[in-house]
Amino acid sequence: MNSERYNEIIENLISDLKDKIIKKAEEYSLESDRLETFNEASNISSESRMKCLWNFMLKHIVSFKRIVYTMDKDRNYIPDESFFKEKTEDIIIFMFLSQVLYYDEKEILQKSKLLDTVLPSDELLKDSDITNHNDNIKKWNINLSKYKDGVYDGSISVPNDINEFKGFKELFGFEIKEVNGYLSFYGCYSLTSVSNLPEYIGGHLSFRGCTSLTSIGKMPSVVKMGIITEDCPFFEGMDEEQVRKKYGIRKE
């Protein structure tokens, strides 16, 4: 293969990958939190986000392994081009995403190490004894660099071992009035009561699998995307429109 053909293949691959990464990001995550899928998967499985990425990628690696072994056994075998491109490009994309996760984890860890000595500049945080809430901040994967003036510019997955939710002030030492991503109570089977939810949620609000829920206090005024109440007897017989009407939740 000459250099011209080699460069053509590489340039086409880079172009395809760029388009594919952008498309997948739009399909599987919010603009305010491009790591939404890995955050929620980590919360559900209790595995690290990087391990979740590996699990997602593993099926593509298995498929690629089969291609390699088949081509090695039968030197006249050439797999279908579209199938080969799909499997190899998906693996490459996951490698790109591993880089994104790496830097996000690094920034979160650096921020966490600074908690004992440097507080965020926001006035609300300055008035809070935030260092007493380090464990909760870490457990909930809260990235303080995304917080400013009562607004959290990301998504929040509630740990599934929580029994009561009385608001973020009690958990973190500062109030979150707006969440620009989703707020998910996914698989919180022991959760019995919820109160003091943020005023605004830019993504979806999920109570999926909250089988022990018996009471809800203050609900958001706005949930921009969907309200999910699957496998939650508390909302039995109510669709999203009825939930919005009962609690006065607007879309805008």
| pLDDT for res 28 | 58
Q: What angle do CA 164, 194, 132 make, to 5 degrees?
A: 50
Note whether 150 and 167 are within 8 A (CB). no
- pTM, full prediction: 0.56
- Mark the ranges of the chain whose per-residue pLDDT is less than 70: 25-33, 108-132
- At residue 110, the 3 state secondary structure works out as helix
| pLDDT for res 102 | 87
| pLDDT for res 113 | 53
| pLDDT for res 250 | 92
| Token duo for residue 203 | 């993504």
